[in-house]
Amino acid sequence: MSKIELITNDLGSHLLSQFEKASTICILTSFVMKSGVAFLKEALASAAKAGADIKICTGDYLYITQPEGLAELLAIDDNIEIRLWKSNGVSFHPKAYLFKSESEDCFFIGSSNLSKSALNNGIEWNLSVSNEKTVFNDALDEFLKVFYADQTVKVNEETLKDYKEAYEHYHKDTPNLAKVWSETEELDLMLPNQKDLPVQPEIIHDPPNSETYGDIKPRFAQVEALEELDKTREEEYKKALVVMATGLGKTYLAGFFAKGFKKVLFIAHREEILYQARQSFKNIMPNKKYGIYNGKYKNSEADAIFASIYTLSMKAHIERFYPDEFDLIIVDEFHHAAAESYQRVLNYFKPEFLLGITATPDRNDNKDVYAICDGNVAYRLDFLDAINREWLAPFKYYGVYDETDYSQITWLGTRYDEEELLHVQLKEDMSSKILGAWEDKKQSRTIGFCSSIRQANFLSSYFNKQGYKTVSLHSQQKEVGRADAINKLESGELDVIFTVDLFNEGVDIPPVDTLLFVRPTESLTVFTQQIGRGLRLAPGKEHCVIIDLIGNYRNADVKLSLFDMARSVGTSKKIEPRVPASCELNLDLQVVNLLKEMTRKRSPRKEKLLNDYLELKNDLGRRPTYLELHLKGHSDSEHYKQEFNSYIGFLSWADELSDHEKNVYKRYEKWLVEVEKTSMSKSYKMVLLLAMLNRGAKEWNKPISSREVAPFFHRYLTETEYRKRIDFSDKSSKKLWEYNERAVSNLIETMPMTMWNRGDDGLTIFSDGMFWVNFDILEEDQEILYKWTREIAEYRLHSHFERRAINSTH
């Protein structure tokens, strides 16, 4: 029976009673104080120890949240997830405590933040709502949207360090804002009235008559991809990745593939993608039953369930399904979501087959997906290849010079300071230049990509004053419906839709034939997703015009490599890339000179490598391993090797090594470079090294015989299908699939040991049947050098099989 109660004092005691029995605990609070953490510390620790799913989200608005409070939360238990809302000046007011247990669902909403006075003896008003299942599920769903929003960052040692610096800087500049809070009283925070939190965009459904219902056949890349997936299943793989450019119908591909399975789970990171995918599946298989799982209900009779990753990642929701409930699990675009969320879900379910689908914006952007799919890339086709095959529209790219000096605008790690950027963007002379470039090159239907809502509003207003019909469409827009705006653009009633991020993915408008970029490119991934919005084929559409303002902002000198048909890993340094034959690339002379000057004046790639490294370090809360840098970093790991000879060389350059580590690097730099750069047509050298490393930090470099290596060598290369298929499948090594110590030993001596023999004066030597590392290691250096050598070996093995698997799909 539902119950609603007003609580005007001692909210803390009510919370503590819920902690004792809750299996799910979600706390959303404007700020966190050390006193509040101390009040709940024991209860949080006990709940975490009992296996409760605990998520805490707080904000940095006005830097009220105390770094000491966040540090105390971090220290309680590693399994507690903590995220910080980056307000960027937007007020952040929520105070909510959600508890789910076997006996009841209960949540508290009111005025109490996470501080002792608010929970114990302050004047606070809160409502307790129990056993209102629908309302509770709505609250939990909204909590997850905030918790995993782009504005939040995971709190760990690195992000806490950044927050503490910003906190001290803010309070130094704002001395009248009290930093010290007593345990019995707190500041009365009358926060200024700012923008509302972004409203969720409306859900856009596929038009019911967009295809012949139930009579759709695979086409273009879908046919090839399905053939490769069939081969994958015949080879008894359990996982696969398909990479298809935006506009080639990857969701329909998933639907066609799903026809061969009884029960299907489709996972995505945005709710509207779930509804669109459900419609696509319905169009293909109209007689099957479909359900959306958003935490509110479970349709157990559905043949296919479409679920949000954030909902499923909650223990209370995922455990409503059996681990083997689904024959096929399809994961859409999962490089967007928190890695922990996906890992939790994928570790729980045991499907007959796992299919990852993505419209990879960059050739090197989905290595994490590759890892989850066990290295099996069944099919890959990027947008340049698709244009060459006439499956996507060609483009005419115009690089228009932007005279803004971005070096004078503060860089905040992943983006420019919004207020400083707006100061130069919201000017009529800038708008006039944008209008002129658009009028000169436009076609009939335009999407304009802006860096902020205020810029989108400003440009829309300016264009309208010049007699054009435009709208500003964004997450806070309530006056204009997105579906209505799209229809008007398609029909010609609108000339331009100015937007910030609504059309990065999930919504296709094939007739769009002009893209206008009036923002500095901060993310190459997002930039290429946005380009995909204009490449869909449509009747009467011959090509897409891309009008792109280029100034001296970050990534300006590397973004054009995305259009280069000739690029290979890290080798393209041309100012003007070679585009597909059907396309054009036109740059203002000032743009060409600017890009040349940027390349000559500084080392933009080194700067980008450092920024991308620091971003990953913040995300992990520690220095990433080499393999983590490869799997999760935004920059291609090969670039670190090219610029610095080794990953450790980069760490030394970036001042990321301790004094002892710097000395170790100097002493053994030649060895580290040797392991990084020794040629590898097969994996054998690194498998040999890994076998040596398995003997431990004090023994790994000592002489080893081929017979000692043989068991590990054979097991490593045959324990997974893709390793066996790639490096152990020629005529001679196929005979070794069944273990034969003598034959495997002979192979090891013939291949890695002999091939890696550098002679008496070299770093490695093979003599009298023994292979060893031919230099002395100081005792105090053993652990560090062992760890670095292992990191490089594991990275090179992963990279080798990844590259060979990807090449085999072309």
Quick: pLDDT tens for 501-517: 766 555 668 899 999 99
What does pTM read for this prediction?
A: 0.71
**Banded model confidence at residue 59, pLDDT cuts 50, 70, 90:** very high
Instruction: Give the contacts of 172 (CB within 8 A, at least 6 positions apart).
Output: none
Q: Where are the domains of the chain?
A: 3-173, 221-381, 395-602, 657-807
- For the chain, the average pLDDT equals 85
Cβ pair 29, 92 in contact under 8 A: no
Looking at residue 506, its pLDDT comes to 54
Looking at residue 151, its pLDDT comes to 80
Question: For 709-729, how does the pLDDT look when each residue is reduced to its tens digit (9 = 90+)?
Answer: 999 999 999 887 778 878 877
Question: For 575-620, how does the pLDDT look when each residue is reduced to its tens digit (9 = 90+)?
Answer: 678 899 999 999 999 999 998 887 776 566 787 789 889 888 988 8
Looking at residue 176, its pLDDT comes to 60
Task: Give the separation between CA 457 and CA 450, rounded to whole angstroms.
Answer: 10
Assigned superfamily of 221-381: P-loop containing nucleotide triphosphate hydrolases (3.40.50.300)
Looking at residue 243, its pLDDT comes to 85
Mean pLDDT of 342-348: 85
Q: Which two tokens stand for residue 341?
A: 């969320």
Mean pLDDT of 432-446: 96
CA 538 to centroid of chain Cα atoms: 31
Mean pLDDT of 99-109: 93
In one-letter notation, the amino acid at residue 553 is Y
Domain 221-381 and domain 395-602, same fold? Reply is: yes
| Number of CB atoms found within 10 A of residue 199's CB | 11
Cβ pair 128, 111 in contact under 8 A: no
Q: Which two tokens stand for residue 242?
A: 């398909």
CATH code matching the domain that covers 395-602, chosen among 3.40.50.10860, 3.40.5.10, 3.40.50.300, 3.20.20.70: 3.40.50.300
pLDDT at 184 over 60: no
**Banded model confidence at residue 369, pLDDT cuts 50, 70, 90:** low
Ranges of beta strands (E only) in 30-165 are 53-59, 81-85, 95-100, 105-110, 126-130, 152-154
Looking at residue 198, its pLDDT comes to 35
pLDDT at 193 over 60: no
pLDDT at 294 over 60: yes
pLDDT at 206 over 70: no
pLDDT at 179 over 60: no
What percent helix, strand, coil does the chain show, rounded to 5?
45, 15, 40
Regarding beta strands 264-268 and 328-332, do their DSSP bridges make them parallel or antiparallel, or are they unpaired?
A: parallel
What percentage of the chain exceeds 70 in pLDDT? 87
More confident call, 310 vs 653: 653
CATH number of 3-173: 3.30.870.10
Mean pLDDT of 515-526: 84
Least confident of 41-55, 180-194, 639-653: 180-194
Mean pLDDT of 462-468: 96
Mean pLDDT of 249-256: 93
Left, alpha or beta for 355 (phi > 0: left; psi -120 to 50: alpha)? beta
What percentage of the chain exceeds 90 in pLDDT? 53
pLDDT at 141 over 50: yes
Looking at residue 715, its pLDDT comes to 93
Question: For 673-703, how does the pLDDT look when each residue is reduced to its tens digit (9 = 90+)?
Answer: 999 999 999 999 999 999 999 999 999 999 9
Mean pLDDT of 169-179: 67
Burial of 123 (0-12, 13-18, 19+ CB in 10 A): exposed
